[in-house]
Amino acid sequence: MILLNHQPREAGLAARAGIALQLSGHTHGGMIMGLDRIVARANKGFVSGLYDVEGMPLYVNNGTALWIGFAVRLGVPSELTTIVLRAA
């Protein structure tokens, strides 16, 4: 089972529930290089990229746009990801 969850912070719950893969966004990669440390605190360490959460892969995408409340992106690229699923 694949979970599409906007926020990555509860990935541990998904892993314990038997989810095979979680795809998330929400963090925008931290928006500004260095700000990712603050974003990580609010999201249980998940900011951008691939993580192993209790054996479950979690992928957090930077997104392609900006957040209206903070419309700046410096040093953190926009991202459009292609995920290819293959049978085991």
Average pLDDT over residues 63-73: 71
Phi, then psi, of 32 in degrees rounded to 5: -135, 130
pLDDT of residue 78: 84
Instruction: Give the residue carrying structure tokens 């746009």.
Output: 65
Q: Give pTM, 2 decimals.
A: 0.84
pLDDT at 87 over 80: yes
Phi, psi of 49 (to 5 degrees): 100, -160
Residue 50 is part of which domain span? Answer: 1-88
Section 17-34 average pLDDT: 85
In this predicted model, what pLDDT tens digit does every residue of 36-63 receive, in sequence order? 788 888 888 898 899 999 999 999 998 8
What would the DSSP string read from start to end of 59-72?
A: EE---SS-BTTB--
Number of domains within the chain: 1
Helix residue ranges, H only, 1-88: 11-16, 36-42
